[in-house]
A and B are shown apart, each in its own frame.
Chain A
């Protein structure tokens, strides 16, 4: 007997979230632009959220643990985006470039 909700087995969600995670990972590793890199991180955080909420719904819907952790991930994602983009804009103002490969010195 499978874990099935509305005719959808749990592993479908897991496959989609791992694929989304790996696409985000590729974005983080391969992009040549700091903002595109942050977009990759957002995709990875979204994949983690799908995983957390799917496991919560299928295995422990009576507790609040999965919801709490997914909410924390959401807040962390917002904080990460705010700080990351502030840093990118500040660096761009000084160096006129946001290529992560060129940002190799702490002092400008």
Chain B
């Protein structure tokens, strides 16, 4: 066993162990911390794949941003941490997840010996009469050949591909727009309403209820029945 294999197995154990802890623990705060460990393990896998760019991006975005965001949410919803970890469908969920895992293993089974892109059904369908090796203008690694190293300029190539009209410019612009909209939307949804706004809302609702009661009384209904919704509306507006 080479040292890389040993590191891979160690990283896999860390990733899977901490992931299982994340989905089973009762304490949400610990779950968030263990999720950071999972993300670190995945960053380690990216290092083994010789993609330093994505290992750094993983640490910056997942560990630096997303995990911190989740920890904030856990703290803001205090009192929810000691909850029952599983709902009533937990057994069914475990069975479904297990079945999907075995289906995935069956799908990946043929890839154990060799991976020949030319024999993939979709690729040969797209290729038609052309050579399957050139589908999409991509130089696929031929089966049985050693894997070429990542080009030294891969980060620059990646950057150019993102702003190349013939490659990923449109998805890149779309996703930039999506992030803009999402951040504005998140601020709008989660904003704290000022007490004045809440009071205004409550007054308006009470007036509406009073008008409704008045209309009902004029229509000849019992006033008691109409007075009840007014209190109910006022109490739900308290939050």
Contacts and interface: CB of A to CB of B under 8 A. Distances in A.
Contacts of B77: 35, 88-89, 92, 98
B234 interface: no
Nearest to A77: B66
A57 B2 contact: no
A53 B54 contact: yes
Contacts of A31: 23, 85-87
Contacts of B89: 29-30
A43 B38 contact: yes
A1 B100 CA distance: 29
B111 A35 contact: no
Interface stretch (B124-132, B146-154, B207-215): B146-154
Interface in B1-43: 2, 4-5, 8, 12, 15-16, 19-20, 22-23, 28, 31-32, 35, 38-39, 42
A3 B186 contact: no
Interface residues of B, number: 100
B178 A3 contact: no
Interface in A41-60: 42-43, 46, 49-50, 53-54, 57-60
Contact of A16 (B15, B94, B161, B172): B15
A43 B22 contact: yes
A71 B51 CA distance: 12
B76 A89 contact: yes
Contacts of A95: 239
A68 B19 contact: no
Chain A interface, >50% SS class: helix
B115 A63 contact: no
Interface residues of A, number: 82
B104 interface: yes
A78 B65 contact: yes
Interface string A78-104: 110111011111101111111101000
B70 A26 contact: no
Given A18-B104, A25-B100, A57-B147, A33 B175 contact: no
A31 B104 CA distance: 23
Nearest to A14: B108
Given A20-B15, A71-B57, A92-B76, A1 B138 contact: no
Nearest to B180: A79
Contacts of A49: 42, 54
Given A22-B98, A40-B23, 18 more contacts: A3-B114, A4-B147, A10-B111, A20-B38, A27-B22, A29-B93, A30-B87, A57-B51, A57-B147, A58-B147, A59-B115, A64-B157, A64-B160, A68-B162, A68-B167, A74-B58, A78-B179, A89-B73
